[in-house]
Amino acid sequence: MPLPQPAPLVLRGLRFDASRPAVMGIINRTPDSFYASARYLDDDAALGRADEMVNEGVDLIDVGGVRAGQEGEWVDEATEIGRVRPFVMALRERYPRLPISLDTWRAEVALACEGAVDLVNDTWQGADPDLVHVAARLDAGYVVSHTGGLPPRTDPVGVDYGPGDAVVEDVLRVLADGARRAVDAGVRPDGVLVDPTLDFGKTTPNSLALVAATDRVVALGFPVLQAISRKDFVGETLDLPTDDRLEGSLAATAVAAWLGATVFRAHDVRATRRVLDMVASIRGDRPPARADRGR
């Protein structure tokens, strides 16, 4: 069977596709991120981690100022802006060509970062309907997500999409509708990412099914983001705590890459970069860095 061929993503003049899948490095400007090693409230520490990511082969950096889950303190709009705006501005000055993604569901937060942001990562399925229009105004890309209709910072309880692959069908419907709305709002089609949004509004079997169905998401005709790194579905599948989920995350990453996903949000940049390059070469989309053996 032919392998799925993903649509390209273009950010800041850079093209990401099957021959060059993108590693989206994570910097959380929060004191309570679920993975402690990704917490960088101190500006110098955050910039230092960005430097490390660049050396490890990162393609874009995703900056967030609010924990995704409901644990921890509530963060208002002004506090979120104070956490992310100074840092993304400093990051843009330090790396003028590096694409920067902003993880927020609030339009005003994205507006506050005008001039520095290349991608708006709306992880809460358009909870703020103005956010997609802000992305278009900023000439930024936009991530279309699926959260099962839950509002921001809501952990899933009693999730039931129905029998069989009903969860996959629901995700495909929501992502297709969201992608059309983004294009209609003025976002460039090659800047629209669709994200099945594993764990958000989903059980562990739901998320596993969606990794396995990555090719069906690719078939929507937009580049696909898979945010797999160290998530609860990996931990529950292997019965492992957050700090021990690297191998499971990389295994799921390899499967999703083989099935055509283009962007991978990751804490472990170097390991993810190597996995993606190896999979791209096995697929035949990327030549080996060298091929001296046997000559």
* 83-94 residue pLDDT tens: 999 999 999 999
Cα separation of 44 and 51, whole Å? 10
The pLDDT score that the predictor gives to residue 37 is 75
| pLDDT of the residue at 68 | 83
pLDDT score, position 11:
98
Output the pLDDT for position 155: 87
pTM: 0.95
3-class SS letters over the chain: CCCCCCCCEEECCEEEECCECEEEEEEECCCCCCCHHHECCCHHHHHHHHHHHHHHCCCEEEEECCCCCCCCCCCCHHHHHHHHHHHHHHHHHHCCCCCEEEECCCHHHHHHCCCCCCEEECCCCCCCCCHHHHHHHCCCEEEECCCCCCCCCCCCCCCCCCCCCHHHHHHHHHHHHHHHHHHHHCCCHHHEEECCCCCCCCCHHHHHHHHHCHHHHHCCCCCEEEECCCCHHHHHHHCCCHHHCHHHHHHHHHHHHHCCCCEEEECCHHHHHHHHHHHHHHHCCCCCCCCCCCC
Cβ(69)–Cβ(153) below 8 Å: yes
Level-2 CATH architecture, domain 9-283: Alpha-Beta Barrel (3.20)
* Ranges of each domain in the chain: 9-283
What pLDDT is stored for residue 41 in this prediction? 84
**Which residues of the chain fall below pLDDT 50?**
none
Half-sphere exposure of 221 (CA within 13 A, CB side): 7
Q: What pLDDT score was predicted for residue 133?
A: 98
